[in-house]
Structure 1
Amino acid sequence: MPSHPRHTALSDEPLSLDAALEGVRDATCGGIALFVGLVRDHDHGDAVTSLDYTAHPRAAELLQVCADEVAARHDVGVWVEHRTGHLEVGDLAVVVATAAPHRGPALTACRELIDELKERVPIWKEQRLTGGGVEWVGL
């Protein structure tokens, strides 16, 4: 499926929804699915003030593997970026876009890609909690 666009990246810069949409736009595709993960103000009942994402040195490679597998399974274009570094509540943490001729494969592929990214790509989140506590997620 090399004709469909494919992009993966880890970035310490703010993510762009417009870049994701343009990144999968393809004249052969009539459906684009988009998932946006934001930094929320709580986790497991604790108030979160900010967080930092740290990626394993192989994280970018594994992100590419996940994207390639999902793209091949569903014959879709994919665009995925995950932030690293310091983020505040409300910041974009991850953006996944998939494009297919029809909505069904685009929606299925988008869900699979974010689920596989969360399960297989070693990116850890250090959350700062109100009151000064810190919690690591994903270790």
Structure 2
Amino acid sequence: MSARDVVFPAGRQALYEKNRYSPAIRSNGFLFVSGQVGSRPDGSPEPDLEAQVTLAFANLNAILEAAGCTFKDVVDVTVFIVDPESKFERIWNVVGENWGDAPYPTLTGIGVTWLYGFDFEIKVIAKIPESAVG
């Protein structure tokens, strides 16, 4: 097996190493990004819901940028929401600010009961642009 081609965002490698997972892996022209939450630099949850979703996108975008991608390169999205019935509208207003224009990526939304103190998590698969391959 070949070594994994790991992508780390600037300044957060120690946090990922502490938690023993890779933020993203490049493979066969795609970028597979681990679920991103609205964590502060020390890994703790941002308590305000809207700010937490905004921070989750900032953390996601940092990984995409480190791989030479943007959200426009994302082809598949999975979101996890704690108590979506009460939080969906507030979350989706923030998501819309980060989503961009059509055509949109595919989307799977999953309601969960626990996300380690977070209310929202987003994981994506992106097609790495040819200009970023090399």
State TM-score, norm by structure 1.
0.29
Bigger share in helix: 2
Bigger share in strand: 1
Larger radius of gyration: 1
